[in-house]
Structure 1
Amino acid sequence: MREFHIQKNDSGQRLNKFLEKAVPALPGGLMHKYVRLKRIKVNGKRTEPAYKLCEGDLLQLYINDEFFERPSEQAAYEKITAPRVHVLYEDDNILLADKQPGMVVHADERGDTDTLIAHIQAHLAQSGQWNPKDEASFVPALCNRIDRNTGGIVIAAKNAEALRIMNDKIKNHELQKRYLCVVHGSPKVRSGKITHFLRRDEAKRQVEVFTRPTPGAKTAQTIYKVLASRGGLSLVECTLLTGRTHQIRAQMAAIGHPLLGDGKYGTNAKNKPYGETSQLLYSYKLTFNFQTDSGILSDLDGMTFTVHDVPFVKKYFPGFQIGG
């Protein structure tokens, strides 16, 4: 018999979800069977898979030891001796990381485990901010994600409450994300709002752009502003009003100004003279604009964080200063 004393980070989640993480070798069907047979109890009583765990609960599992055996392979973060995390901001609840282009945020279809979240977990473990042995199921997690070849600000939650609150804030559009990108050409209209309807094509792994409502397409809105133009290129700031896949890349291409280096929505022929093989796009500014209760994250309300050192800005627009 094994017991779990439910701590704060594990409270508030359904029993079945907790068991998926705490006892990953236990098949779902068998878990439901053991609940029915009262081999899984909460506070010594019969329970249900949908029961929401509370801090202080005692979970008792009368199941074979084999289900508690952990895989022999090390977790990805345990293999990292020198975490590569560019910390933009950090407090007791969240960490803002400046992700470098080329790094994936989570393991992808290529099986790459050298990920941003693994490096963040290694950083937290090695600095004593997170002890996996003290947690039954919670691990520090990312609240947002950006593409492999896009750089910029990514939010990580250090505890379950921060993760829940931040996910709600993102869902309710209480964060403002601004990007810098380099585009081909110089838009005649120097600023404005672009509205399109985007539909994802899973086979091509890209989105289709429509100018009117189309079945399966979602509204995409971006505010853009040209900050500088030089040598057939422009530096553009884009503010997301919606958060669709490849939104900026697809919309800027749709108005005739694809991102430099973007072979998916632009053309390699135009990119080749510059030697760029991936989109020049950076999530450089993040503002917290909370409209609802923010609990332990209340100190973040009204704060703006900016990455001032964006490599492609220096390369193509020397002398341009990124503001606060």
Structure 2
Amino acid sequence: MRSITVSSKYINKKLEYVLKSEFPNMPISAMYKAFRKKDIRVNGIRVKEDYLVNPGYKIDIYISDSIIDGKPLKNDSEMNMGFTVVYEDSNILIVNKDQGIPVHPDSDQQYNTLIDNVKSYLELKGDYSPKNKNTFVPSLCHRLDRNTGGLVIIAKNEEALKTILDKIKNKEVKKYYQCLVQGHVEKKSETLKAYLEKDSRKSRVFVSDAKSKNSVEIITKYRVLSYETNYTKLEVELVTGRTHQIRAHMAYIGHPILGDGKYGSNQFNKSMGMKTQALWAYKLCFDFTGKSCLDYLKGKIFEVVPGFSLPKTKI
């Protein structure tokens, strides 16, 4: 925790500008996470990053000193930035992303994204130096929706990035999700095929059995894990990986994801007490073939316990 008094050079300046100026080594993502958690106060009041300050104002920053000063981490528990580390070596990092965090900057959120936080994590560990123009910038190998939690692979060098992208393209990285869907799914397992068309203006996709000019084929496999009173727990394997594929495909067959306000039923979600979508990328299987710099990962399986909320009520 750190406290400072605003000096005379910061007259009517935005709080984020003052903090960036006073603490140049503090990761930007850590600062914006603190704003989101209301861990930065001015004169005892919780404020946002665009709050205007003046000389004499007292700023309290409830972030650990090591992060404020940009010191290497002793362990990753020092920095809770929207993910936990599942696996890490010199080539790749696999994290379990929290729900509600976009994987990269978009029109709705420019800071405190997963990739920002990963860069900060690696920077504080001493594994990444953004000041070095020749250093490789940690890169996402695939994406998850903002409100989908789960496993994401990040490459730490160019060769690893190319390898993982090739493996994903060649279906040598198998991605499995767990989800809760409305109603009872009749068949205990099935391979679903359809066509998906993206509407960027509406930020959603549409699924159909008929191919159109702008649609792409989608293939989604599922198997029933359990039947509950009025919903089903599924394991879903993404054969193709398209925008909102699982959410839209399950809704198309009449079984939308619980808590999904875009493709599901708001009335049903409300009756079940579901405010966030019950969808989690919980398992990755590295079914590698051929030769690559990641041969040592052949046959590896990475799995986490889904972190989505369960229904609070039954109707």
What TM-score range do you get, normalising by the shorter chain?
0.7 to 0.9
- The alpha-carbon deviation at position 202 of structure 1 amounts to 1.9
Identify the residue that residue 298 of structure 1 maps to in structure 2.
295
CA RMSD, 1 decimal: 2.3
CA contact (8 A) 1:174 1:288 kept: yes
Aligned counterparts, 1:276-295, within 5 A = 276-294=274-292
Q: Which amino acid aligns with 1:275?
A: G
1:273-311 per-residue CA deviation (whole Å, 9 max, x = no partner) reads 1232332110000011123332x2111111110002534
- With over 3 angstroms needed to count, the CA separation of the structure-2 counterparts of 1:79 and 1:250, relative to structure 1, is closer
- With over 3 angstroms needed to count, the CA separation of the structure-2 counterparts of 1:74 and 1:222, relative to structure 1, is farther
Aligned counterparts, 1:120-199, within 5 A = 120-136=118-134, 138-199=136-197
SS at 1:271 equivalent:
helix
Identify the residue that residue 228 of structure 2 maps to in structure 1.
230
**Rg bigger for which structure?**
1
Give me the whole-angstrom Cα distance separating, in 2, the residues matched to 1:75 and 1:216. Answer: 46
Give me the whole-angstrom Cα distance separating, in 1, the residues matched to 2:113 and 2:232. Answer: 31
- With over 3 angstroms needed to count, the CA separation of the structure-2 counterparts of 1:90 and 1:243, relative to structure 1, is same
Q: Which amino acid aligns with 2:94?
A: L
- The alpha-carbon deviation at position 160 of structure 1 amounts to 1.6
Aligned counterparts, 1:101-116, within 5 A = 101-116=99-114
Structure 1 gaps of 5+ residues are: 1-70, 318-324
Name the TM-score, length of structure 1 as normaliser: 0.70
- The alpha-carbon deviation at position 75 of structure 1 amounts to 9.4
Out of 219, 236, 242, which is 2:240 matched to? 242
Name the TM-score, length of structure 2 as normaliser: 0.72
Give me the whole-angstrom Cα distance separating, in 2, the residues matched to 1:272 and 1:201. Answer: 27
- With over 3 angstroms needed to count, the CA separation of the structure-2 counterparts of 1:275 and 1:190, relative to structure 1, is same
CA contact (8 A) 1:209 1:251 kept: yes
Give me the whole-angstrom Cα distance separating, in 2, the residues matched to 1:197 and 1:167. Answer: 23
Q: Which amino acid aligns with 1:301?
A: K
Identify the residue that residue 271 of structure 2 maps to in structure 1.
273
- The alpha-carbon deviation at position 135 of structure 1 amounts to 4.2
- The alpha-carbon deviation at position 173 of structure 1 amounts to 1.9
- The alpha-carbon deviation at position 172 of structure 1 amounts to 2.1
- With over 3 angstroms needed to count, the CA separation of the structure-2 counterparts of 1:309 and 1:79, relative to structure 1, is closer
1:43-68 per-residue CA deviation (whole Å, 9 max, x = no partner) reads xxxxxxxxxxxxxxxxxxxxxxxxxx
Q: Which amino acid aligns with 1:208?
A: F
Aligned counterparts, 1:202-221, within 5 A = 202-221=200-219
Q: Which amino acid aligns with 1:200?
A: K
- The alpha-carbon deviation at position 215 of structure 1 amounts to 2.0
Identify the residue that residue 115 of structure 2 maps to in structure 1.
117
Give the aligned length. 244
- With over 3 angstroms needed to count, the CA separation of the structure-2 counterparts of 1:77 and 1:293, relative to structure 1, is farther
Structure 2 gaps of 5+ residues are: 1-19, 31-66, 68-78
Aligned counterparts, 1:81-96, within 5 A = 81=67, 82-84=79-81, 85-96=83-94
Give me the whole-angstrom Cα distance separating, in 1, the residues matched to 2:215 and 2:263. Answer: 17
- With over 3 angstroms needed to count, the CA separation of the structure-2 counterparts of 1:201 and 1:307, relative to structure 1, is same
CA contact (8 A) 1:83 1:122 kept: no
CA contact (8 A) 2:192 2:219 kept: yes
CA contact (8 A) 1:193 1:221 kept: yes
Give me the whole-angstrom Cα distance separating, in 1, the residues matched to 2:122 and 2:222. Answer: 36
CA contact (8 A) 2:188 2:224 kept: yes
